Amino acid sequence: MRLNSGFSLLELVVSILIISVLMTFGYIKLESMAEGIERVSFDGARNNIQAQLTIRVTEWYAKQQNVVAEELTGTNPVELIQLRPSNYRGELKLEELDEAPPEHWYFVTDNSWLVYKAKRIENLENEFEMENIIPFQIRIRFGQAEQTQGLAVGADLQALYAYKWTAD
């Protein structure tokens, strides 16, 4: 009579196979969650910048401070706000953007764009030629549509190209 003192080869192979399948599904779910987190982080930072730009315009309006739309369009929006997003990494040139780490905001000095560089782009639909880059500029609004300077009534962080994250 033989004593069983361990696993047979078949039991070991089946166990490894089951663990592999579970890890594969776990990894897929983890990646999906990571993309969702990146989207939420991006939206939160974008909305934060927008809210702070609105506060800045309100301050200008209260002080009756005139602004020139053309000057502000080329301005780094992060320079106009008090609390920078924690994932803002500063200014760089467009050719340096390829080497810059993803999941961060940058100001591209040669184009005067505030950009977000996405990491997980499987579900990102983006009309910009660099599919992982979402560029923005400030658009100043005045009391009259044809105005280009004067008392601003609003400022928008406007996407330069259409983009959207689709559901999984």
Quick one: pLDDT band at residue 54, thresholds 50, 70, 90? Answer: very high
102: pLDDT strictly greater than 90:
yes
pLDDT at 2 over 90: no
To which H or E segment does residue 151 belong?
A: strand 149-159
Query: Residue 103's closest CA among 132, 61, 143?
Result: 132
- Across the chain, what does the average pLDDT equal? 91
Q: What integer is the mean pLDDT of 90-105?
A: 95
In angstroms, rounded to a whole number, what is the distance separating the alpha carbons of residues 113 and 56?
A: 19
The beta-carbon contacts of 68-73 under 8 Å, at least 24 apart in sequence, are: 68/148, 68/149, 69/139, 69/140, 69/142, 69/147, 69/148, 69/149, 69/152, 70/148, 72/138, 72/140, 72/155, 73/112, 73/137, 73/138, 73/139, 73/140
Q: Does residue 42 register a pLDDT over 60?
A: yes
Q: What is the pLDDT of residues 109-122, one digit of tens each?
A: 999 999 999 998 98
**For the residues 94-119, what does the mean pLDDT come to?**
96
Least confident of 31-35, 56-60, 138-142: 31-35
Residues 6+ apart with CB under 8 A from 13: none
Question: Quick check: helix, strand or coil at residue 27?
Answer: helix
